Amino acid sequence: MPKFVRKSAKLAKAEKSKTTKKLKKDLSLKKPNIARPPQSHLEYRNPLASRYASQSMLHIFSEFRRAEIWRELWILLASEEKNLGLPIEDSQIQAMKKVKSQIDFNRVRDWERKTHHDVMSHVKAFGELAPAAEPIIHLGATSCFVTDNADVLIMREATQLILKKLYACLEILARRSNTWKALAMTGYTHFQPAQPVTLGKRLALWAQDLIWDFEEFEFGLTRLRPLGCKGATGTQASFLVLFNGDFKKVKALDEAICRSLGFTEPVALSGQTLSRKQDCWFLQACANLAASFSKISYDFRLLQHTGELREPFGKKQIGSSAMAYKRNPVLAERMTSLARLVINFSHNATWTFGTQWLERSLDDSANRRVVLPETFLATDALLEIFYRLIIGMEADTKKISESTQLYQTFFETEEAMMHGTLGGGSRQELHERIRQKTMSGKMAAQSKTSKKKIFVGAADKQVDAFLNDKFAEFVKRSKKSYANAKSSKLFQSDQI
């Protein structure tokens, strides 16, 4: 029996007595808690909201935020219609502004049970709070004026948060890559020992993939366009009626709305809905980022298995409920899991776009209510996990050295083959001699001589070149827009 398990009979008896007395005291002071659990624990809760995503991303996709944007759009529509000559009073606009944030969701639900229409339920609830403005709320618009324009604003805000977090992670990854650029470690192809690399080179490879993902989100933002004011089937017919057939005013309204939303122009053409192609761009960008995180998570899990890398582990953290000695790579495993979810969501977006009918069908609505928020929430969760992983990752230099020394003789063979060929030998004959010797077991993997320097080629110089060229260029281009927030404020510290 291990020493840390053995105790004297006397000590064990004393501890048992002490524990029994404490338990009796606790039981005498505390009454059984038989109260009904809170309602939130009696209903299904999305784990992305309750466990993984940040409060910042949750707020962006919150029901309140969406409803408030709808009201802001109605106020903006009325304001621009007034500016272009429609008979709308300042007092009506002020009445809407005054109650913009007073959203009674119970009242909205009451209306929706009667109307079975989500947008009109909000129109009626808004009109009850601002009766003076009730006649002109939603004037000339169709539901997609608020739903689709709001989706664009929400998607833009969510993407900007992703980019800020990804930028912060890339800065940390670059510093780690520089620190470990010359730390030689066993390379693996087919997860079999291969020519040495450096830890810094591996981290730089991760960074290169993530920069490409960053650029894809940025490109999506340059193409993103709001719906603007297009009417029931995208022909702007209702607005032509309001402005007595004056298309210049109809166009001016469309453009003014979009400028106010922070865009240079609206989408040129639409049916009733904004093309769901835009969903595809952003969900595919999320999927590509998730694929990078999946690759990173597998790399990390494999290297934790070899003992060369370790993810952070809290002082009171438990690796296994049964095997107390375990230190499992739970963060990396969680990344693998959530990445798989995001990758699959992207296919949903392409199906939704590909099955729309003519000017629109409503079979996208319920689907998008789930898929758009959950894709961004899961992507946000991946960034939260990755940040924790790279901030606290540890390199076990002893294990790394043991691994490289173990296969040192094998690692030297390629260098020897190059020198032999330069000395006049046949590369193919040298290769065959080495192959026969290693396969027959006549060549020991580990050198009997003292430790030698591990040859890692130009790995450290490649890292320097990458950081001084590609990464520096990335920072110069992106720092102004995405390096404003401190990491301590961007990321949550209380994630499970």
Q: Report yes or no: 103 and 68 within 8 Å, Cβ to Cβ.
A: yes
Name residue 188's beta-bridge partners.
193
Q: Which one, of 300, 492, 487, 262, lies nearest residue 377 by Cα?
A: 492
How far is 316 from 313, CA to CA, in rounded Å?
Answer: 8
Q: Which of 8, 190, 450, 493 is catalytic?
A: 190
Q: What stretch of H or E contains 196?
A: strand 192-198
Closest CA to 161 of 345, 371, 380: 380
Beta strand extents in 332-387 (DSSP E only): none
Active site residue 190: yes
Determine the Cα–Cα distance for residues 198 and 453; give it in Å rounded to an integer: 13
Give DSSP secondary structure letters for 30-84.
-----PPPPGGGSS---HIIIIIS-HHHHHHT-HHHHHHHHHHHHHHHHHHHHHT
| Residue entry with tokens 């510290």 | 493
Nearest to 403 by CA among 198, 183, 193: 193
Distance between CA atoms of 264 and 255, rounded to whole angstroms?
8
Determine which one of 320, 361, 426, 481 is catalytic: 320
Alpha helices in 199-329 (DSSP H): 199-223, 237-242, 247-260, 277-306
Q: Which two tokens stand for residue 267?
A: 């989408």
Closest to 364 (Cα-Cα) out of 238, 252, 276, 444:
276
Contact criterion met (CB below 8 Å) for 238 and 262: no
In angstroms, rounded to a whole number, what is the distance separating the alpha carbons of residues 342 and 290? 6
Active site residues: 190, 320
